[in-house]
Chains A and B, each alone.
Chain A
Amino acid sequence: MASLDDLKKRIASVKSTQKITKAMKMVAAAKLRRAQESAERGRPYSEKMNNIILNLSNGISDKENAPKLLSGTGENKVHLCVVMTSDRGLCGGFNSNIIKKAKSYFSKILNEGKQLKIITVGSKGNDQLKRVYGDKIIENISFKESKNANYFDADKVGRIIIEKFEAGAFDICTIFYNQFKNVITQLPQAQQIIPLNNEKGQNDSDESYEFEPDEDEILSNLLPKNISTQIFKAMLENSASEQGSRMSAMDNATRNAGEMVDKLTIEYNRSRQAAITKELIEIISGAESL
């Protein structure tokens, strides 16, 4: 059994851990509110963008010559996966969930005999993936220095992807991120961005638009922007998810630490009493023997 001193030290250490997790929870809660707000504010833009592209692609006259970003290269050999994770740890299953989703997708692709290329956004994903898929990672981007997700960063990622696409480095691009549902639920998502998946559309296709300049030119201007927009959306969802996940993880940790302190305190008191009783018995039996 541990000595009284050891127990005392352990209680103190668990208590200070609890203080840290409690503080982290508070910080995450404050950041979550901001992240959630910006995720909600960012939604109209990506929705409108999607709508316009839908209308445009419905109106496009020559499907054969449509921009490659929309229709794809016609092949299905090289897959590019953009795995978006956080730069910081201590956020529960947030990063592992994305990685798990991505890994199952990777093994599916590799089993089909296709080529795989990976871009990691955020250092945590890179750390977890480089052990198994180290040779597949072609780029690692991290935005440690920027505080909040901003469009400028998303645009940078978008440009890298488009550059590689135009150089013919891949045929299909999928992004992995966590969609924020609520504080305790985040859904890992795999979303294909090149070629654009527009199956659910076809809503108000009888609406006729005037285009200036023509559809093809607008589309080729718009599609790269859409890539950045989708990445930005994923970044916003991710940052809200990260804070939500961290908040609930830290909440659990604080509670567990509380339970541990209670248990240790009981153990401490018991052994203290046992020591006192033992001493008393020794004194009494010593006095009796005289």
Chain B
Amino acid sequence: MSEEFKIEIVNPEKSFLVKEDVLEVVVPAFEGEMGILKDHISIISFLKPGIIKVFSKSGDENYYVEDGIIEFKNNNLSILTSTIFSVVDLDKSKQGDLLKKAELEASKAEISDQAKYLADQKVEVLRSIN
């Protein structure tokens, strides 16, 4: 039996990625990283800043996301996100820009704990890509 399932990543502007031969996806869910294999139970969760790892027969890919919602149902994984970048395409200057923005956000005094946590996460993840 095949162990593949379908993934679809959409952002507001377009359908970002559609793949049919995915073996495993690791997503940075809000309460910790979560690996999804075929026949996972239906689940809805949301993401914190981190790296989505897609393992498929046609190669592995990594994506950096800042937020998003995932839904897994009937072996269809949908990821909705407003900010997503392929790690391969993420060059130094772009990464620097994002990092600067995240650091600025994290250094603000009057933000809520949750926003602060999210901004810190962004900084940490962006630094780790180097």
Binding site for B on A (CB under 8 A): 38, 41-42, 44-46, 48-49, 51-52, 55-56, 150-151, 154-155, 207-213, 218, 221-222, 225, 229, 232
Per the 8 Å Cβ criterion, residues 5-54 of B in contact with A are 8, 10-15, 29-31, 34, 41-46
B42 touches A45 (CB 8 A): no
B12 touches A151 (CB 8 A): yes
B61 lies within 8 A of chain A by Cβ: no
Q: Chain A's interface: helix, strand, loop or mixed, by majority?
A: helix
A45 touches B43 (CB 8 A): no
Mark B65-104 against chain A: 1 for CB-CB distance below 8 A, else 0. Answer: 0010101010000101010000000000000000000000
Q: Which residue of B lies closest to A212 (CB)?
A: B45
B contact residues around A45 at 8 Å (CB): 10-12, 80
A contact residues around B8 at 8 Å (CB): 44
Q: Chain B's interface: helix, strand, loop or mixed, by majority?
A: strand
User: How many A-B residue pairs lie within 8 Å, measured between CB atoms?
Assistant: 75
Cα distance, A222 to B69, chains bound together (Å): 8
B41 touches A52 (CB 8 A): no
Cα distance, A106 to B12, chains bound together (Å): 31
Cα distance, A55 to B42, chains bound together (Å): 11
Cα distance, A162 to B8, chains bound together (Å): 29
Q: Which residue of B lies closest to A41 (CB)?
A: B14
B73 touches A207 (CB 8 A): yes
A225 touches B82 (CB 8 A): yes
A contact residues around B11 at 8 Å (CB): 45, 151
